[in-house]
Structure 1
Amino acid sequence: MLKQILNAIEQRQISEKECLVKSQVNTSFLSDWKNGKIKSPPFDKIYRIARFLNLSLDLLADNTPPPSQLPEPEQFLLNGFRKLDQLEQQIILGKISEMLYQKKNFEEQRLGTEQVAGNLLSGLDCTDAVGSGKKD
Structure 2
Amino acid sequence: MSWVRGSFIVPDISDDECGLDRTIGVALVSLAEAGVTMSGSSGTGGLDSRLAAVLVGLFRADTPWGSVWHARERDGAELHIVFDGTGSAEAAPTIEAAMRALADLGVEGQVERTEIGYDGPSFVRWTLERGEARFDDAGSVIYTR
Q: TM-score normalised by the shorter chain: which range applies?
A: under 0.3
Bigger helix fraction = 1
TM-score (norm 2): 0.25
Looking at both structures, which has the greater relative contact order when contacts are Cα pairs under 8 Å and sequence separation is at least 6?
A: 2
Q: Which structure shows the bigger proportion of residues in strand conformation?
A: 2
TM-score w.r.t. length of structure 1: 0.26
- Which structure's CA Rg is the greater one? 1
